[in-house]
Amino acid sequence: MRPLPLDHPGVADTRSPGRFLWWLARGQWRTLAMGMVFGIIWMSSQAVLPALLGRAIDQGVAARDLPALVMWAGLMLAVGLVQAVSGIIRHRYAVTNWLTAAYRTVQLVGRRSVDLGPTLPRRVSTGEVVAIGTSDLSHLGQVMDVSARFSGAVVSFLLVSAILLSTSVTLGLVVLVGVPLLMLAVGPLLAPLQRRSADQRHLMGELANTASDIVGGLRVLRGVGGEEVFWGRYRRESQTVRRSGVRVARLQSVLDAFEVLLPGIFVVVVVWLGARAAVRGQLTPGELVAFYGYSAFLMIPLRTATEYANKLIRGRVSARRVCRVLALTSEYADPATPRPAPPPGSELADGRTGLVVRPGRVTALVGEDPDETGLLADRLGMVAPDPDDEVTWGGVPLTALPRGQVRDRIVVSDTGATLFSGPLGERLAVREGSDLATALAAASAADILDGLPEGLDTVVTERGRSFSGGQRQRLVLARALALDPEVLVLVEPTSAVDAHTEARIAARLRTVRAGRTTVVVTTSPLLLDQVDEVAFVRGGRVAATGAHEDLLAREPAYRSVVLRTVEVPP
């Protein structure tokens, strides 16, 4: 069996949904081929059983030949055992193929999400990405799963046709011509089903995005009394998705009905022709029984063929969504010829605002417009949209450096940072050798562990929702401090904690970051009183710099922002 997840999922072909599915198939061709081999053996074993039964009747029962009957019965038992064993192995390969396709897709989307970083939510809604994991993975896996059975269906169909042709040309021709005609009969349903499935898939993505927004802002909605408004919106959108699903189900039900009706009619025709041939003496009783067995068996490859077409359509719809995400490119492309990396202790500067961050110091950014300082923080870490060459590090534009190098040496922890599910210790100490105990103490988060019976082994729920807002913020801060990057940019790291906790964090932050460059976006007087320098941003430019007490004394606008007062002109 193949170990999952894979060491590397490869580079996907995203030029079209069909090419992506073919790329998935080529990437697991060995297990896919083995699944097809055992699928062929499994279904071919079923195909020959009616022939063996007919011989047993003619040469054993009708001829009253006990040894012949025992021989043919033994052959049927052997074929039945082969069918059982091959069916088990085929199913194991089918599950492997399903899981391999799903895991590869998860790894591809996960790697692309990490590579895109802040570009992803600006290009694709959260619901789209969520829907890939909730529905598209299943559809892609089912295409790989059904392929093995489809190959068996094709081979067994040809085998049965050959047996029938050798016995009765008329019945053989009916099978060879009738089965393709039955497939063509359901063809007109496939294109509308693909369109309706694509529309439903789009609506499901939108609904998942709405649900994510509501859950993420539930506390705010409760605070402003907006629960009913968003509940009504979600209910309307969910009803739209339901109606879309009903439209798909109606067409799907017709297709499913045809999967039963058309093969059933076909079986009746074959049995009727076989019975007439038996009455005329053209077929022996054993051959008539065999023909009835073939007719019943042919329903399996027929239904498998229509199932394959159905799942292939759904797989193409899902593949199109996956290709859309995988085809996205980051706003920050690695330069063709990277510049030499700046040495440690280099000065970080933004030419657009005039900000200069001196190395080894704690610098605070205060702005009249929080969006301005938030954007400036993103620019310093090269995560803002529309990158330019105005942010330099040691005189080198950040855009002239490899992204991986910038991400490794400059870390931005903003208000949107969250906790992933899994063991708490692993989610906090994301870099080997991290001093997690010191980071937890500096973030005043040690008391959180005291309240957890399993401590760092506690499993974090999705987005850390098992913790309060203040606890999550302190844990996120501890994670950033444990990374111990050369440059750390913190955006409102204490906005959700009480004043006493904030005072402890402010006093410890400067100590734990001694000798390394730190930028803090905040308007908290407790934090501002502990930093080395404050840069006041006004109108998109750095209007003043200096110590907190100095700016309070000489900058009325700064005083208004920090103390939340309104200056009354004399």
pLDDT at 126 over 80: no
Q: In the structure encoding, which two tokens stand for residue 70, read together?
A: 């025992």
Same domain as 230, residue 94: yes
> What is the rounded CA–CA span in Å between residue 312 and residue 367?
55
Going by DSSP bridges, is the β-strand pair 391-393/396-397 parallel, antiparallel, or unpaired?
Answer: antiparallel
What pLDDT digit, counting tens, does each position of 377-409 carry?
A: 989 988 887 778 899 999 999 989 998 888 889
Exposed, middle or buried: residue 422 (CB in 10 Å: 0-12, 13-18, 19+)?
A: exposed
Residue 8, domain member (yes or no):
no
226 plus 373 within the same structural domain: no
291 or 316: which carries more pLDDT confidence?
Answer: 316
d(CA 248, CA 226): 33
* Predicted pLDDT of residue 348: 94
- Based on the domain organization, do 542 and 467 belong to the same domain? yes
Residue range 226-246: mean pLDDT, rounded? 72
Of 124-128, 135-139, 225-229, the one with minimum mean pLDDT is 225-229
Question: Would you say residue 569 lies in a domain?
Answer: no
DSSP string, 455-504: GGGPEE-GGGTTS-HHHHHHHHHHHHHHH--SEEEEESTTTTS-HHHHHH
Domain of residue 368, CATH code: 3.40.50.300
pLDDT score at 72:
87
Instruction: Assign 566 a pLDDT band (cuts: 50, 70, 90).
Output: very low
Q: How confident is the model at residue 179 (pLDDT cuts 50, 70, 90)?
A: low
- Same domain (yes/no): 85, 208: yes
Please, is 532 exposed, middle or buried when counting C-beta atoms within 10 Å of its C-beta (0-12, 13-18, 19+)?
middle
pLDDT value of position 350? 94
Collapsing DSSP to helix, strand or coil, 397 comes out as strand
Instruction: Please check whether residues 163 and 124 belong to one and the same domain.
Output: yes
What integer is the mean pLDDT of 14-23? 90
| Span 319-347, pLDDT tens digits | 988 888 888 888 777 888 899 989 988 99
Q: Residue 528: which residues within 8 A CB-CB, separation 6 or more?
A: 364, 366, 522, 534, 548, 562
Q: Which region among 231-235, 311-315, 362-366 has the lowest average model confidence (pLDDT)?
A: 231-235
**Closest CA relative to residue 155, chosen from 305, 31, 287:** 305
The average pLDDT across 448-476 equals 82
Confidence label for 259 from pLDDT (cuts 50, 70 and 90): low
Q: Which residue has the higher pLDDT, 467 or 350?
A: 350
pLDDT band at 481 (very low <50, low <70, confident <90, very high): very high
What is the rounded distance in angstroms from the CA atom of residue 462 to the CA atom of residue 532?
37
Question: Mean pLDDT over residues 137-145, rounded?
Answer: 87
Q: How many Cβ atoms sit within 10 Å of the Cβ of residue 325? A: 21
Cα–Cα distance between 72 and 435 in angstroms, integer?
74
Integer Rg of the chain from CA: 34
Point out the least confidently predicted range of 49-53, 159-163, 262-266: 262-266
Asked whether residue 512 carries a pLDDT value surpassing 50, the answer given is: yes
Residue 354 within a domain? yes
262 touches 189 (CB < 8 A): no
Q: Give pLDDT, residue 349.
A: 95
| CA trace torsion 327, 331, 334, 340 (10° rounding) | -170
What's the predicted TM-score (pTM) here? 0.68
146: in domain: yes
pLDDT for residue 480: 92
Does the residue 128 lie in any domain?
A: yes
Q: What CA–CA distance (Å, rounded) separates 496 from 71?
A: 82
Distance CA 481, CA 440 (A): 8
Q: Average pLDDT of the chain?
A: 82
Reported as a single tens digit per residue, the pLDDT across 531-552 is 999 999 998 999 999 999 999 9
> What per-residue confidence (pLDDT) applies to 287?
75
What average pLDDT does the segment 504-525 reach?
A: 92
- Domain check: are 175 and 224 in the same one? yes
For residues 505 and 518, what is the distance between their CA atoms, to the nearest angstrom?
14
Contact (CB, 8 A) for 487 and 517? yes
In a domain, 55, yes or no: yes
Mean pLDDT across 397-425: 86
**In a shared domain, residues 437 and 536:** yes
Domain endpoint, select from 270, 294, 326: 326
**What domain range includes position 383?**
348-563
DSSP conformational letter for 413: E
Q: What's the pLDDT band for 229 if we cut at 50, 70, 90? A: low
- Asked if 279 and 390 sit in the same domain, the reply is no
Q: Could you tell me if residue 404 is inside a domain? A: yes
At 458 the pLDDT is: 85
Please state the domain count of the chain. Answer: 2
Residues 385 and 488 in one domain: yes
Q: Are 35 and 148 within 8 A, CB to CB?
A: yes
Q: Based on the fold, state whether residues 318 and 354 are members of the same structural domain.
A: no
Least-confidence region, from 88-92, 128-132, 268-272, 299-303:
128-132
The CATH number for 129's domain is: 1.20.1560.10
504: exposed, middle or buried (C-beta count within 10 Å: 0-12, 13-18, 19+)?
Answer: middle
Strand partners, 491: 521
85-108 average pLDDT score: 89
The verdict on 203 and 57 lying in the same domain is: yes
User: In this structure, what is the dihedral angle of CA atoms 513, 514, 519, 520, given to the nearest 10 degrees?
Assistant: 60
By the 8 A CB rule, do 53 and 284 touch?
Answer: no
pLDDT surpassing 90 at residue 238: no
Cα 402 from Cα 106, distance rounded (Å): 26
Please check the confidence at residue 505 and state whether its pLDDT lies above 70.
Answer: yes
Cis peptide before 5 (omega within 30 of 0): yes
The answer to the question of residue 202 being in a domain is: yes
Report the SS3 class of residue 132: helix
Q: Tell me, yes or no, whether 406 and 305 share the same domain.
A: no
Beta-sheet strands, E only, within 211-296: none
* Banded model confidence at residue 443, pLDDT cuts 50, 70, 90: very high
What would the mean pLDDT of 50-69 be, rounded to a whole number? 84
Is-contact 118 383, C-beta < 8 A? Answer: yes
* Residues in contact with 338: Cβ distance below 8 Å, sequence separation at least 6, in sequence order: 400, 401, 402, 405
In angstroms, the CA 558 to CA 107 distance is 47
